Amino acid sequence: MWRFSFFRSLGLMARTWPFLLLQVLLHAGIVALHLALITAGAGLGQILGLVFDPQFLDVAMMLGGAAGAGLAALLIHQRRARILHELTAAHLAAMVTLLEGGTLPAGRAQIGAARALVAARFPDPAALLRLEGLLRRAMDAALELLHGLTRRLIQTTLVSQLLVLLRATLRFLAGPASLVIIAQALRPSTGEPWAAARQGLILYAQNIGAMMRNRLVLLPPTVLLVVGSFALLLAPSVAIARAMPGDWSGGGLFLAMFLAWAVKRALMDPFNRACLLQVFLRHPAGPAPDALWLAHMERDSPAFRELSAPREKG
């Protein structure tokens, strides 16, 4: 049913451990930043509430905490281009190099070598972020195209309802698609990176059934990790929430969910990408893109057309 090796993926994780360590540190920092700003916001709200109107003390603290959470999210959002360029894409480049039989230095030198590979293909972090956004939009268009073609072939109310559910499922399972396609663009053997991403998108759409089946295989272990992390982190999360200014005991549930999300992002997402890369990069140059898919995407997806001329629009 699946076309990847769990053991090979684990081996990739072990051989690229510096990036896993960076992922853990990054997401620990994100959690710490949110906690710090939420606590500071709640504390400021408490002071303002005591000064101006003690009757609205709890409301002031809740608003201050919410403002702190919003500020933390804004700060992370502003750094997303650098995170994608220096961490996520660099890790992808390292895994692609190792999957294709290349070598990388060990330890901290591996991070520098992988970042150099990314910089050689995408010198501008903002351009890589823009490419990732275009790939997400173009992938949505590909899923819409599949949905529309199937609906025309089978025109019944029940099937239409099932297709809506299927489209939502495919959209969920296609989550890592843009990063897997970026890995294709990071391969030096594929030529110009934007053209390689364009070709990679068509190849992904052509093989969407196989990609989704393999993604589905990875869903149970991902869910188990998230649920297990949540269960282990719930008690300390409640304790942390109770130690914050005001009555935040109910926030322990949300903190445990946030921490479980961080564990998934730091550990399971790179593993899932390592598995899907094995499926997608099965051939050194990949099969030829289908002309029919190419024509449909050119016609129906503005984002796909933008991939053709990044220089003019970047």
CA Rg, the chain, in Å?
22
Sequence ranges of the domains in the chain: 6-313
Residue 289 banded pLDDT, cuts 50, 70, 90: confident
Q: What is the mean pLDDT of residues 290-309?
A: 81
Q: Percentage of residues in the chain with pLDDT exceeding 70?
A: 84
Q: What is the mean pLDDT of residues 156-161?
A: 56
Annotate 127-142 with b (16+ C-beta within 10 A) or e (fewer). Answer: bbbbbbebbbebbbbb
* 46: nearest Cα among 36, 56, 37: 56
pLDDT in tens, 185-199: 998 888 889 988 988
Q: CA torsion 40→42→44→46, rounded to 10°?
A: -150
Q: Tell me the two tokens of residue 296.
A: 């449909």
Position 313 scores a pLDDT of 45
Position 90 scores a pLDDT of 95
Hey, which of 37-51, 136-150, 163-177, 264-278 has the most confident mean pLDDT? 264-278
With beta carbons less than 8 A apart as the criterion, state whether 262 and 72 touch: no
In whole angstroms, give the CA distance from residue 187 to residue 153: 38
Q: What is the DSSP letter of 268?
A: I
Hey, which of 23-27, 161-165, 186-190, 298-302 has the most confident mean pLDDT? 23-27
pLDDT at 143 over 80: no
Position 205 scores a pLDDT of 83
pLDDT at 147 over 70: no
With beta carbons less than 8 A apart as the criterion, state whether 49 and 56 touch: yes
pLDDT at 111 over 60: yes
Position 312 scores a pLDDT of 43
Residue 314 banded pLDDT, cuts 50, 70, 90: very low
Burial class of 151 by CB neighbour count within 10 A (0 to 12, 13 to 18, 19+): middle
pLDDT in tens, 46-61: 888 888 877 777 788 8
What's the sign of the alpha-carbon dihedral 20, 96, 178, 85? positive
DSSP assignment of 204-221 equals: HHHTHHHHHHHHHHHHHH
In whole angstroms, give the CA distance from residue 258 to residue 219: 19
In whole angstroms, give the CA distance from residue 260 to residue 267: 11
Residue 280 banded pLDDT, cuts 50, 70, 90: confident
